[in-house]
Amino acid sequence: MANGKFLTCLPYTLREEGGYSNDPRDPGGSTYKGVTQARYDQFRKSAGLPKRDVRLMSETELQTLYRSGYWDMVGAETLADGVDLSAFDLAVNSGPARAMAILRKAIGGSTGDTIGKIADLRLSFLHGLSTSAAFGKGWGARVARIEAASLKMAGLPIQPSAYAAASKAKAKAKLAKGGAAAVPASAAGAHVAGGHAWLTVAIIVVILAAAGVAAYAAWRQRQRADELAKAAADLAQQTAATEATRAAAAAQAVAKTPVKS
């Protein structure tokens, strides 16, 4: 079980949230380390404290907000290693209620399966948001990085998940290409059947919309595959560096060991 893992998982999410931002496209408004000014005001008020700029938030306040507002809300302490991070970051990014809904659908099977399902469901949800045009690329990369970190935390290999995402991207791209190619034939068929222009337009719109959705899904999975592959390469590099350091330390220890005559 993931008891006491809050402080281990928190840095991953804080890295994704960044520092201070006040993007007019973001409905959250003024935000510091993932905490909006409104949320911070609410927290200070509940503690009987006066309002102040969110940028003045202390580390203790930050940890309290994240633990009580997100970590505890999804029961992360009871989740398997890796699943706790995926659920926690999802709660921070999309809200505890959405995180619980996705978690209920994803739970089942192995830890790796659950982590992968959370990432898939999370991407599907984010794609449907009105702000996806502005933030979709960044969100997609975040989901993939958290998935990779979660797999690493669970002691699972990342590369198989990268291969799976690449396969999904290829399948979605094929579907998108097939849908777009079907437009001329469908349009011609509608014209012969009765010459109804509205029917022709409706068919084209439906087919192109489906192809567009598939194309976006393909891009999303390619991005996921790329981020996972990058994480796998980084992990391999870190492992090699760690092993080299250990080997050097062992060799140095042997060199310092006095030789018995």
DSSP string, 34-81: TEEHHHHHHHHHHTT-----GGG--HHHHHHHHIIIIIGGGTGGGSPT
Residue 115 burial by Cβ neighbours in a 10 Å radius (0-12, 13-18, 19+): buried
- Tell me what pLDDT residue 113 has: 94
Residue 153 vs residues 76, 97, 124, 229: alpha-carbon distances, Å: 14, 24, 24, 16
Q: Is the per-residue pLDDT at 24 higher than 70?
A: yes
Asked if CATH classification 1.10.260.40 holds for the domain at 1-156, the reply, yes or no, is: no
Q: Residue 222 is encoded by which pair of tokens?
A: 């390619």
If you average pLDDT over residues 156-165, what whole number do you get? Answer: 67
Tell me how far the alpha carbon of residue 22 is from its chain's centroid.
Answer: 22
* pLDDT reported for residue 103: 97
Q: Give strand pairing partners of 35.
A: 32
Is residue 10 pLDDT above 50, yes or no? yes
**Average of pLDDT values for 237-258?**
71
C-alpha–C-alpha distance, residues 81 and 151, integer Å: 9
Identity of the residue numbered 217? A
Query: Which of 52-61, 80-89, 222-231 bottoms out in mean pLDDT, i.e. has the lowest?
Result: 222-231
Work out the pLDDT band at 252, boundaries 50, 70, 90.
Answer: confident
DSSP-based three-state secondary structure for 162: helix
130's enclosing H/E stretch is none
Q: Provide the 8-state DSSP code for 21.
A: E
Instruction: Compute the C-alpha angle 36/42/47, nearest 5°.
Output: 130
* 199-225 per-position pLDDT tens digit: 565 555 554 445 544 555 566 667 677
Looking at per-residue pLDDT, the higher value among 174 and 127 belongs to 127
Q: Is 132 a residue whose pLDDT tops 50? A: no
Which residue(s) pair with 32 in the sheet?
A: 20, 35
Domain-wise residue ranges, the chain: 1-156, 160-256
Residues 57-95: b if buried by 16+ CB within 10 A, e if exposed: beeebbeebbbebbbebbebeebbbbbbbbbbbbbbbbe
- Find out whether 177 and 194 touch, Cβ atoms under 8 Å: no
Cross-strand pairs, 36: 31
Most confident region among 2-11, 87-96, 126-135 by mean pLDDT = 87-96
CA gap 102, 90 in Å, rounded: 9
Share the mean pLDDT of the chain: 78
pLDDT in the model for residue 207: 47
The CA-to-CA distance between both ends of the chain, in Å, stands at 52
The burial class, CB within 10 Å (0-12 / 13-18 / 19+), for 258 is: exposed
pLDDT digits (tens, 9 = 90+) for 64-110: 999 999 999 999 999 999 999 999 999 998 899 999 999 999 998 89
User: Following CA atoms 58, 61, 67, 70 in sequence, which dihedral angle do they give, to the nearest 10 degrees?
Assistant: -90
